[in-house]
């Protein structure tokens, strides 16, 4: 099936099988392997991307459902020169990553939260970020990094 | 964890969608937000021949929230509702319990109702608020009362060729109680309960949301929260156990929640 969408600001067009998930399209066809696949059924959050500006699970979205949509992956969060975003720098400064597997999902989820401009408490952020799992259990510095970005 | 092969269509009109659903000998499935259906496909628990994507159907969109009335198109995303002012309090209170925000951005009201997970919030809210569910097929339209809609896990009164169009609730404002016990915020409830205008509903306890007529009679006769209500609820809740918690846990914790939601709604 013919598919046309925008990924990190660039148009992409190609033929895909209807059963291809958006996650597999990004990773295997576009080679954007920053989007990680953990559970592949919507529990772990590692595959989170922005779909028309809203955080969404790319493993729970068929590529064909994203026809005409604008997708932003972790590769699209930084500046056009490849520089890190404020959020990415805050993750580095707070030590908000260990093995790094969950990091792209957390970054994209946190980016979606920061974009609406609302200032959230530590408790609110903990609850909102509960849809992303970190198996190194480094939740404290992750929440800290997002809090610092709100300031 | 990859879905099996299926055909896919994205109709532009309701009539076209209904024809597609009627045409595959019962093997077509409607695709709303996909947040429940795609995991079923990935685990190969569902193998539809055809998925009919509903995202381009304007008839299934739209929110009408006015005092005393809430009408929600079936393809309304939960995130859209969260951003809507003037929702009845009980609906606004239930929304944050529906998955995580990354799920609510894609998940739809109609998709959740039609999927009918016994632990999901929408079937419970529909029963609690005595919702009217409008359905259509190529054969015509009908309205299903929430009490007749949920039949069991993943089973509703919808025929294979029928599509849910909207949910309508009337008089849903006013005091309420709505509580869940869940492992992480956003996880499926282990036990949930709601109380509104004398109705008492528990969910995530058995195969479908359950009204508790004995508890409702107790409240109607002026009995308040307390030991008597808890005992009535514990006897009345039809619970099953699973890998997470036992049936006895669901009855006991469910009874506690009934007590608390009744107190909140008083």
Write the pLDDT tens digit of every residue in B207-264.
999 999 999 999 999 999 999 999 999 999 999 999 999 999 999 999 999 999 999 9
Of A40, A42, A55, nearest to B101 by CB-CB distance is A55
Name the pLDDT band for B138 (thresholds 50, 70, 90): very high
Q: Is the pLDDT of residue A137 over 90?
A: no
Place of tokens 């009908």: B142
pTM of the model: 0.96
A121 has a chain B CB within 8 A of its CB: no
Q: Are A20 and A62 in the same domain?
A: yes
Q: How far is A76 from chain B (nearest CA, A)?
A: 18
Q: Write out B47-103 in H/E/C secondary structure.
A: CCCEEEECCCCHHHCCEEEECCEEEEECCCEHHHHHCCCCCCHHHHHHHHHCCCHHH
Of B38, B39, B99, nearest to A62 by CB-CB distance is B38
Of A17, A40, A45, nearest to B1 by CB-CB distance is A40
Domain that holds residue B257: 176-265
B158-176 exposure pattern, b = at least 16 Cβ within 10 A, e = fewer: beebbbbbbbbbeebbeeb
Question: How many angstroms separate the CA atoms of A3 and A135, rounded?
Answer: 35
Q: Is residue A143 part of a domain?
A: yes
Binary contact (B6, A24; C-beta < 8 A): no
B29-65 exposure pattern, b = at least 16 Cβ within 10 A, e = fewer: bbbbbbbbbbbbbbeeebebebbbbbbbbebbbebeb
Residues of B in contact with A40 (CB under 8 A): 1-2, 42
For residue B46, the domain's CATH number is 3.30.43.10
Q: Is residue B1 part of a domain?
A: no
Q: Chain A residue with minimal CA distance to B77? A: A54
3-state SS class at B108 = strand
3-state SS class at A61 = coil
Q: Is the pLDDT of residue B55 over 80?
A: yes
Q: Are A30 and A96 in the same domain?
A: no
**Residue B75: exposure state from Cβ atoms within 10 A (0-12, 13-18, ≥19):** buried
The answer to whether residues A59 and A37 touch, using CB atoms and an 8 Å cutoff, is yes
Please provide the distance, in angstroms rounded to a whole number, between the alpha carbons at the two ends of chain B.
Answer: 47
B154-206 per-position pLDDT tens digit: 999 999 999 999 999 999 999 999 999 998 888 889 999 999 999 999 999 99
Binary contact (A60, B3; C-beta < 8 A): no
Q: Is residue B2 part of a domain?
A: no
Chains A and B: how many Cβ contacts under 8 Å?
Answer: 93
Residues of A in contact with B8 (CB under 8 A): 1, 18, 62, 64
Q: Domain total for chain A?
A: 2
Q: Is residue A81 part of a domain?
A: no
């Amino acid at each position: 099936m013919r598919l046309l969408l925008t990924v990190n600001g660039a148009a992409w067009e190609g033929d895909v099988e209807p059963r291809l998930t958006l996650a597999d399209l990004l990773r295997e066809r576009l080679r954007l392997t920053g989007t990680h696949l953990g559970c592949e059924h919507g529990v772990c959050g590692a595959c989170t991307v922005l779909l028309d500006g809203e955080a969404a699970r790319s493993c729970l979205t068929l590529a064909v459902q994203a026809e005409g949509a604008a997708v932003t992956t972790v590769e699209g969060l930084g500046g056009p020169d490849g520089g890190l975003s404020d959020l990415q720098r805050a993750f580095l400064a707070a030590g908000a990553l260990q093995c790094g597997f969950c990091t792209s999902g957390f970054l994209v989820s946190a980016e979606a939260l920061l974009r609406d401009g609302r200032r959230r408490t530590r408790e609110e952020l903990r609850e909102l970020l509960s849809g992303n799992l970190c198996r190194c259990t480094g939740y404290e510095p992750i929440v800290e990094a997002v809090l610092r970005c709100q300031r | 964890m990859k879905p099996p092969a299926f055909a896919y269509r994205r109709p532009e009109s309701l009539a076209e969608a209904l024809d597609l659903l009627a045409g595959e000998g019962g093997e077509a499935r409607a695709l709303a937000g996909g947040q429940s259906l795609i995991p079923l496909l990935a685990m190969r628990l569902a193998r539809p021949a055809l998925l009919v994507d509903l995202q381009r159907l304007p008839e299934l969109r739209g929110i009408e929230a006015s005092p005393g009335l809430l009408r929600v198109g079936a393809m309304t995303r939960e995130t859209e509702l969260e951003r809507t002012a003037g929702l009845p309090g009980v609906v606004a209170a239930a929304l944050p319990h529906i998955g995580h925000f990354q799920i609510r951005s894609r998940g739809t009201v109609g998709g959740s109702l039609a999927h009918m997970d016994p632990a999901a919030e929408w079937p419970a809210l529909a029963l609690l608020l005595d919702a009217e569910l409008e359905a259509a097929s190529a054969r015509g339209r009908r309205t299903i009362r929430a009490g007749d809609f949920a039949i069991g896990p993943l089973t509703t009164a919808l025929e294979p060729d029928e599509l849910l169009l909207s949910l309508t609730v009337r008089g849903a404002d006013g005091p309420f109680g709505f509580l869940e016990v869940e492992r992480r915020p956003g996880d499926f409830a282990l036990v949930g309960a709601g109380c509104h205008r004398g109705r008492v509903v528990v969910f995530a306890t058995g195969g479908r949301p359950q009204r508790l007529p004995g508890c409702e009679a107790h409240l109607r006769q002026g009995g308040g929260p307390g030991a008597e209500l808890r005992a009535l609820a514990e006897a009345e809740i039809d619970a099953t156990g699973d890998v997470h918690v036992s049936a006895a846990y669901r009855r006991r914790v469910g009874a506690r929640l009934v007590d608390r939601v009744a107190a909140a709604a008083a």
